[in-house]
Amino acid sequence: MAGKKQPTQFGFTLQSSDAGARTGILHTPHGIINTPVFMPVGTQATVKSLTPDHLKELNVQIILSNTYHLYLRPGADVVQELGGLHSFMNWERPILTDSGGFQVFSLGELRKVTDDGVVFRSHIDGSQHTFTPESAVAIQEQLGADIIMAFDECAEPHDKEYSAAAMERTHRWALRCQQAKTREDQALFGIVQGGIFDDLRQQSAEYISSLDFPGHAIGGLSVGESKADMLHSIEVVNRILPEDKPRYLMGVGTPFDLIEGIRRGVDMFDCVLPTRLARHHAALTLKGRVNLSKAENARDPNPIDPKCSCSTCRSFSRAYLRHLIIAREMLASTLISIHNIHTLVSLTALLRQSIVEGNFESTAESILEGMK
């Protein structure tokens, strides 16, 4: 593990911009991250069905892992005792942990929110637990990711009263997270809430920006609102968030979302989509999703995408992938996950390059056109 007294290990350097889109370098104790970046999700300290070597071959720069899940299983103390998350899962590149806020929000009837924190029941065994801003930070300090997130309250995005209350609470909790933080080798990002309401989003972006976090996240989106509302909220928030800090759009990551998010100045994305789709036999391409279990693939000698350079498309036919799916072989998830993550990582790299070269808009338009 890196030493505790090296705040200079963090830093964000904007490199180039093209219209609203930008590229940068994020420095962390476990290396640099070229932004914009897509972060695959390793919920339980594993990006499902892939080895760390697979992720490195895919040029994955940083992964996200979930505090809620690791707290319950194997326990943050176990991860800490085993040397922290990097050592535990043998991933030496950067890691970001969420705060558990969104996960407990997703528990619905199983959780109760007060100003102090959230009392919830485990989805595994029904046991009762409490997360507070202080404990969420403490757990993330035990896990030891490079970037940790403030504990926030996510609200139903169309309910203004609820959104306002959750935003206010998120603001109070952001301060408490800053005060609770003790490790200097982790960067704590603040989270903007406010549902789909411009005034709330503006107010939240202004307040969170005022707290001088080293990075900012846009939370509470992609949770039921329309695409138009989501993109509008990103615009409203990013007009206010400072340009010299990274902007992270939480839980969002379709190809469309990546393009439209980057266009609006987002630097970081995470999503379970590529691995979840893979387990449901769907391949992500820039021309849509391919259901590989369909009979039409049974004798198809072509790869998922003839233009794709991932190891799955270089080596395996649709017919073979369909066979693995029908025969219920685990390798299907592995091979499709490789392709799906490659699709998002390489799309992000392509868009990054287009920003550097000053042709982001035409590149984005051409990809979006191909999706129609």
> Closest CB to a copy of itself among 187 and 335?
335
CB of 84 to a copy of itself, least distance (A): 12
What separation in angstroms does the CA of 198 have from each of 214, 231, 329? 24, 12, 48
Choose, by CB under 8 A, the member of 301, 307, 309, 372 that binds a copy of itself.
301
116 binds a copy of itself (CB under 8 A): no
> Closest CB to a copy of itself among 277 and 324?
324
Stretch that binds a copy of itself, among 30-38, 154-162, 295-303, 342-350 (CB under 8 A): 295-303
316 binds a copy of itself (CB under 8 A): yes
**Phi, psi (degrees; rounded to nearest 5) at 137:** -70, -45
Q: Which of 55, 120, 59, 81 is CA-nearest to residue 275?
A: 55
296 binds a copy of itself (CB under 8 A): no
50 binds a copy of itself (CB under 8 A): yes
Q: Which of 58, 12, 54 is CA-nearest to residue 35?
A: 12
Catalytic residue among 18, 152, 267, 270: 270
β-sheet bridge partners, residue 329: none
Q: What tokens were used for 314?
A: 């270089």
Yes or no: say if 237 and 248 are a contact pair by the CB < 8 Å rule: no
Yes or no: say if 64 and 96 are a contact pair by the CB < 8 Å rule: yes
Stretch that binds a copy of itself, among 76-84, 217-225, 261-269, 282-290 (CB under 8 A): 76-84
Stretch that binds a copy of itself, among 21-29, 81-89, 184-192, 254-262 (CB under 8 A): 81-89
Yes or no: say if 303 and 73 are a contact pair by the CB < 8 Å rule: no
Distance of CA 360 to the CA centre of its chain: 22
Query: Within 9-48, which residues bind a copy of itself (CB under 8 A)?
Result: 44-46, 48
CA-CA-CA-CA dihedral for 132, 136, 142, 147, to nearest 10 = -160
Choose, by CB under 8 A, the member of 82, 239, 350, 371 that binds a copy of itself.
82
What separation in angstroms does the CA of 164 have from each of 117, 157, 221? 17, 10, 15
CB of 270 to a copy of itself, least distance (A): 18
228 binds a copy of itself (CB under 8 A): no
> Closest CB to a copy of itself among 58 and 258?
58
Distance of CA 150 to the CA centre of its chain: 14
CB of 306 to a copy of itself, least distance (A): 16
- Let me know how long the chain is: 372
Query: Is 270 noted as a catalytic residue in this protein?
Result: yes
Query: Is 212 noted as a catalytic residue in this protein?
Result: no
> Closest CB to a copy of itself among 16 and 44?
44
Query: Within 319-338, which residues bind a copy of itself (CB under 8 A)?
Result: 319-320, 322-324, 326-327, 329-331, 333-335
96 membership: H or E segment, kind and range: strand 95-97
- What is the C-alpha separation between 164 and 168, in angstroms, rounded? 6
* Contact map string, positions 85 to 114, toward a copy of itself, x by CB under 8 A: ---xxx------------------------
What separation in angstroms does the CA of 127 have from each of 72, 123, 124, 152, 209? 10, 8, 8, 22, 37
- Buried b / exposed e over 284-309, threshold 16 CB at 10 Å, is bbbeeebebbeeebeebeebbbeebe
52 binds a copy of itself (CB under 8 A): yes
Choose, by CB under 8 A, the member of 1, 13, 19, 83 that binds a copy of itself.
83
CB of 299 to a copy of itself, least distance (A): 6
Stretch that binds a copy of itself, among 12-20, 80-88, 107-115, 361-369 (CB under 8 A): 80-88
- What is the C-alpha separation between 44 and 172, in angstroms, rounded? 29
> Closest CB to a copy of itself among 53 and 161?
53
- What is the C-alpha separation between 66 and 68, in angstroms, rounded? 6
- What is the C-alpha separation between 249 and 263, in angstroms, rounded? 12
341 binds a copy of itself (CB under 8 A): no
Could you list the active site residues? 98, 270
User: Where on the chain is the footprint of a copy of itself (CB under 8 A)?
Assistant: 44-46, 48-53, 69, 73-74, 78, 81-83, 88-90, 298-299, 301, 311, 315-317, 319-320, 322-324, 326-327, 329-331, 333-335
